[in-house]
Amino acid sequence: MELLTVSAIMGIVALGAYSAFNSGIAVWEKIRKGALEEGAILFFEKLSYDLENILPCSGINFEGKTESVTFPARVKGSLGRITYRFDEEAKGLTRTEQDCSQVHQESEGKRKRLTEGVSALCLYYLSYDKKQESWLWKETWQEENLPSAVKVEIELKNDIPNYKLSRIIPIPLSFVYSVKNDD
């Protein structure tokens, strides 16, 4: 009889422990989903700050691709290059800083992972077409001047299929240089 009572108590204790563990996992997953969004928002803020503060440089051009963007900026108190890109292997977004000497030596700069849990990054570049007299989004940018804005779409890995966050980031300096180049 005592053995039966002990077995019943052990079963109740094990069930309680399992229930607490399962609840903890559910809470952890909810927090993790929020952390993915926070990481993406911090990525937007960092990229916005850097794009809005581009420094013009004849030796470092603005280069835009679908999954990466590179541009001249202030790095460690001097002129350098910043690259934002989607890391396919790590499923995350990275930011690489290269100072002027690293750019000219073509050496790897300081890379930092900004967020993870990303399934795709798509960048588009806004340009004004004088012939058509309209604004166009381009998937790549290899021109000498700057795009007017960059549209950023991030697809996060979570339970919601095709869950995307997007933001359009204006580049104020592009308007100054487009007026200067028109003269």
Digit-coded pLDDT (tens) for 104-143 = 778 788 889 888 888 899 999 999 888 888 999 999 999 8
Find the radius of gyration of the CA atoms of the chain: 24
Whole-prediction pTM value?
A: 0.75
What is the percentage of the chain residues whose pLDDT exceeds 90?
Answer: 34
Residue 63 lies in a domain: yes
Are 148 and 170 in contact by the 8 Å Cβ rule? The answer is: yes
Q: What confidence score (pLDDT) does residue 29 get?
A: 67
Q: Domain span at residue 20?
A: 9-71+115-182
Query: How confident is the model at residue 17, as a pLDDT?
Result: 78
- Between CA 136 and CA 175 the distance in angstroms is 16
pLDDT at position 116? 84
**Between 104 and 72, the higher pLDDT residue:** 72
Does residue 176 sit within a domain?
Answer: yes
- Exposure pattern of 54-93 as b/e (b: 16+ CB <10 Å)? beebeebbbebeeebbbbbbebeeebbbbbbbbbeeeebb
Task: Tell me whether residue 41 is in a domain.
Answer: yes
Task: With respect to residue 108, please indicate whether it lies within any of the assigned structural domains.
Answer: no
Residues in Cβ contact with 173 at an 8 Å cutoff, skipping those fewer than 6 apart: 54, 56, 146
Does 81 map to a domain?
A: no
pLDDT at 70: 93
Number of domains the chain contains? 1
Helix/strand number for the chain, H first, E second: 3, 9
Residues 6+ apart with CB under 8 A from 111: 94, 95, 96
